[in-house]
Chain A
């Protein structure tokens, strides 16, 4: 049933009139979404959608490294952490520095990209799973430093994390409180939603343009066969480092936004499990396919929340009492969903057309 409206959508895309109509319609729906959600299920859900948009940016950033360039990265959340802490330290009472957000997001992106190169440079010779474990180790190292850099000099405030981070403010209009614009009250979560939506759209646009660019093709060439790519005159070292840096910079921006949204960061938010969740979004959605990755990110970010809110009441309704606590049930179903989706659709929920062709035709064993 899902496939039906997807093909319908695809047909609409090929008709130029339908394309414009579809885009206008989508824009209206997206613009009204936070108000509709608040009216129907409450403001928590606007916040969940805010976070889902951050995950879209994260998943797309990881998709550049894993999906486009074929480099398995299990420590991606480290860049998110770097971005979040850069923002937190330079816009909070912790050091008494309060830089504006529009300078901090680029700074966070650049520093995260620098860390991406720091990670990428020594690991250029590593392949496949060796790279995976090194990136995993890198992620853990960053987290351990964030946890322990409160002594002897207090830089990160250790496990307690950094508090009272400045919210985003545009022209004196703070995102922390309700603002009335043109007679309509906009709560902060809604303003964040619009900002995140805009940035996510920008990231999506960049990714789509990258995919078929010279760099994107070079990444695909490296993913398929590194030696052949080298023989074709691709500077594999620079191109791989570029993949790490670009993926990391997206993570850095998302991290900065996360800091401002939450107003609080602690090392706990950047555990290995988060890296794995983002990787699941990329692979489950359809590795290397921008639309698929967006779908995967939104599904995996919202489904557990949906389960959290419905698991208790539904059991109450069915059995008259809560048999499994919602948290456990949520994890059980999440685990089952990962297994089932992969068994039924090994290439992801919405794989790229080329990838699907490769899978259905005879393919050489051992290819990624």
Chain B
């Protein structure tokens, strides 16, 4: 049973990160109907920026306490990613708002390639080891182990997601965001400054991406310029699984995908009598996605949207 519990815990940690990134995809999709392909790269930039700041602060030897260094690195990463998200939307998406629907997808791919290459030039091709600010100390829970870093990841993600839900449901900005998602034209007529709301959406999504980047690189202890692509892909899958455009769906989808992956990796060998090994975990995740979409074509929590004319 402890293996089962262990896989559940691993899945929750992985899933929280997916959920944070998936929220960025789903918020943009809800408002613009656009797959922000460059979002994964924002996660990568967040992780690598935080890494550089941490290294610089540790090298400066100011005698700062470890949590303060971590906090400062996180804040710098968040600010950098917010600026990046704002700029991406301004340059690559805003001019194309009335263009054919696939045009912004191509610019998004262009931005993605550009960011990846720039990151490679700045940080190099190698894998960076993240300085151990919090040395992982394992805790035993009913036969399974969880490190303090993993607990931190789950708690931080839960807090941030709760904060985001509060923002979207109880503030003026949140109401404007929901109105824009519902119908941009009418929201504009009601006095909502649509461009500002869209910028705000990108900025918030990028801040979440920065946090996710820092968390995931702390968890695995490594970061490199290519990490954003596959993470972004998984998170986007999670967002679709939950029903894209739906905040609760992104969270649910992220957690579910994390659980499916880690349980799949742990049990797929036993289930198929050793025929398929754990390297089929991605197949497993995508198969679940396809099955869910076959029976619920709009995702788990997605509403049935009317056909676009």
Task: Give residues in A with beta carbon < 8 Å to B.
Answer: 66, 72, 122-123, 125-130, 132-134, 136-138, 140-141, 144-145, 147-148, 151-152, 225-227, 272, 276, 279-280, 283-284, 287, 324, 328, 331-332, 334-339, 342-343, 346-347, 355, 359, 363-368
Contact = CB atoms under 8 A, between A and B. Distances in A.
Interface of B: 29, 33, 35, 91-92, 95-96, 98-107, 109-114, 116-118, 120-121, 185, 233, 236-237, 240, 244, 274-277, 279-280, 282-283, 286-287, 289-290, 293-294, 297-299, 307-309
A10 B42 CA distance: 45
A331 B307 contact: no
A150 to B, nearest CB: 11
Contact of A148 (B114, B279, B290): B279
A336 B116 CA distance: 12
Given A130-B299, A140-B286, A331 B106 contact: no
A129 B91 CA distance: 23
Nearest to B288: A137
Given A129-B240, A144-B282, A346 B100 contact: yes
A262 to B, nearest CB: 25
Contacts of B98: 363, 365
Contacts of A283: 102-103, 105-106
B308 A342 contact: no
A141 B118 CA distance: 30
Nearest to B277: A148
Contacts of A367: 101, 308-309
Contact of A141 (B29, B106, B275, B283): B283
B126 to A, nearest CB: 15
B111 A138 contact: no
Contact of B237 (A128, A137, A138): A137
Contact of B280 (A72, A126, A148, A284): A148
Nearest to A153: B275
30 contacts: A66-B102, A72-B102, A125-B297, A126-B293, A128-B308, A129-B29, A129-B35, A129-B244, A133-B237, A144-B280, A147-B279, A148-B279, A226-B307, A287-B100, A331-B116, A335-B111, A335-B112, A335-B113, A335-B117, A336-B114, A337-B110, A338-B109, A339-B91, A342-B107, A343-B92, A343-B95, A343-B96, A355-B100, A359-B100, A365-B185
Contacts of A148: 276-277, 279-280
B96 A133 contact: no
Q: Which of B96, B114, B280 has the most CB of A within 10 A?
A: B114
Contact of B117 (A332, A338, A347, A359): A332
Contacts of A332: 114, 117-118
Contact of A134 (B29, B277, B289): B289
A315 to B, nearest CB: 14
Nearest to B116: A331
Contacts of B99: 342, 346-347, 359
B290 A137 contact: yes
B113 A331 contact: yes
Shortest beta-carbon contacts, A-B, top 7: A338-B110, A346-B99, A137-B286, A335-B113, A335-B114, A339-B110, A331-B117
Contacts of B277: 148, 151
Given A122-B294, A335-B112, A339-B91, 18 more contacts: A122-B290, A130-B293, A137-B289, A138-B286, A144-B279, A147-B279, A148-B277, A151-B277, A276-B109, A279-B106, A334-B113, A335-B114, A339-B114, A343-B92, A343-B95, A364-B309, A366-B33, A368-B102
Contacts of B274: 152
Contacts of B282: 140-141, 144
Nearest to B91: A339
Contacts of A136: 233
Given A144-B279, A339-B114, A132 B35 contact: yes
Contact of A336 (B110, B233, B299): B110
A283 B290 CA distance: 26
A136 B233 CA distance: 9
A293 to B, nearest CB: 13
A324 B121 contact: yes
